[in-house]
Amino acid sequence: MIQDTWVDHGLQATATWIPAEEYDGEEPLVQAYALCVVGDLVCVIRSPYTGTKLLPGGTIEEGEDPVETLHREVYEEANLELSAVELLGVQRVEYSDTHPDYGEDVIYQARYVAQVDRADFLTEDPSEGFVFERSFVSLDDFPELMGWGDIGQELVRLAKQHKDL
């Protein structure tokens, strides 16, 4: 079992990795994020308010499936068009109390790998009201850059298996 722990909004968060082939789909997904790759590089965005480095993606809206969410959110945040989207797995995130943004103490986040087809000029995210900084970093450097532990390493390992998307 692969797990990582961090603090989010003052709450302890513990993520447990569920490989794609083991996710039964019974628990509803709340968010979808992707390692958006170009060759051996992956896109990372950074919030201008917090400086936090993030994968592009976000919350699944009513009526959307996770892949639709992924395409919408990645374009809004990073202005990237994607193809060959593949589910790597799901993170079960358990918080020490009810999360203020999600209203739950356990959520499920899908993690995908996708090929970047086109990168457009950055524009303001319509839901956030600001422009995210976009950069591309080596897949090998990604887990350390993000401060992600074992799950970050697993994401990179799986993404490399799908490199030929």
**Segments making up each domain of the chain, as ranges:** 3-161
The string of DSSP codes covering 21-64 is: GG--S-SPP-EEEEEEEETTEEEEEE-TTT--EE-SEEEPPTT-
User: Angle at Cα 149 formed by Cα 144 and Cα 153, nearest 5°?
Assistant: 80
| Secondary structure letter of residue 123 according to DSSP | -
Checking if the pLDDT of 16 tops 60, the result is yes
pLDDT in tens, 71-98: 999 999 999 999 999 999 999 999 998 8
pLDDT in tens, 36-68: 999 999 999 998 888 889 999 999 999 999 999
> Which is more confident, 74 or 26?
74
Helix (H, G, I), strand (E, B) or coil at 89: strand
Choices 3.20.20.105, 3.40.190.10, 3.40.720.10, 3.90.79.10: CATH for 3-161:
3.90.79.10
Checking if the pLDDT of 165 tops 60, the result is no
Mean pLDDT over the full length of the chain:
92
**pLDDT given at position 163:** 62
H or E element at residue 75 = helix 66-78
The pTM of the full predicted model, rounded to 2 decimals, is: 0.92
